[in-house]
A and B are shown apart, each in its own frame.
Chain A
């Protein structure tokens, strides 16, 4: 596609349920990133995939968070046993290569845990 696509746009879930958020990066982009933005905060780095290398998971806030990237393209961010503090906008970005190339962001998934 023309840009980074994320689905769903909005997700409301009950506390304790698992959720999956999907990201389709720009075709051909080898690097993919997940961020989240909580209310009134800046973007917080979560995880980074680059080609076939092991992902950089240094930003994941707890072991309830995981992500995978299948076939070097689509990525899924999974949050298990959601908590209210997980409510945020989850943003995905991709870039054409590792290094000094800006990343392009999707529109985000707004997650609300009730």
Chain B
């Protein structure tokens, strides 16, 4: 039962432009959402999170927006840099533990010079 969905398997963007990654969820009980970034042959690394009581959280070039009524969140990267080329996973904790997560399938971002 896939409760977190990332419907875009890949995204190509020019350096300096905005990257927008989308994520949808089905479980209205989720109260936190996390984004992880993964480079090849490495484990995922935590990027940014958002609580369901907020609709926006910003950290440097990364901003996550949450639309609870639509059960949709998005990650914006502005400006995109070549080092941002990676797979991005949206995830939601299924309990109070942030380690037990439901992950989306991921979106491969390629930032071109």
Contacts and interface: CB of A to CB of B under 8 A. Distances in A.
Interface stretch (A62-70, A72-80, A93-101): A93-101
Interface in A57-114: 91, 93-95, 98-108
A2 to B, nearest CB: 13
- The contact size tier of chain A is 20 to 34
B44 A48 contact: no
Given A91-B43, A102-B34, A42 B97 contact: no
A56 interface: yes
A108 B94 CA distance: 22
A21 interface: no
Contact of B98 (A56, A101, A107, A108): A101
Contact of A4 (B34, B43, B98, B106): B43
B96 A98 contact: yes
A59 to B, nearest CB: 8
Interface in A9-41: 31, 33, 35, 40-41
A107 B34 CA distance: 19
A3 to B, nearest CB: 8
B46 A42 contact: no
Contacts of B104: 42
Contacts of A94: 99
Contacts of B100: 33, 45, 48, 56
Interface in B19-60: 32, 34, 36, 41-46, 49
A68 B57 CA distance: 37
B99 A103 contact: yes
Nearest to A95: B99
A100 B105 contact: no
Contacts of A100: 32, 93, 96, 98
Contacts of A42: 4, 6, 89, 103-106
Interface of A: 4, 31, 33, 35, 40-45, 48, 50, 56, 91, 93-95, 98-108
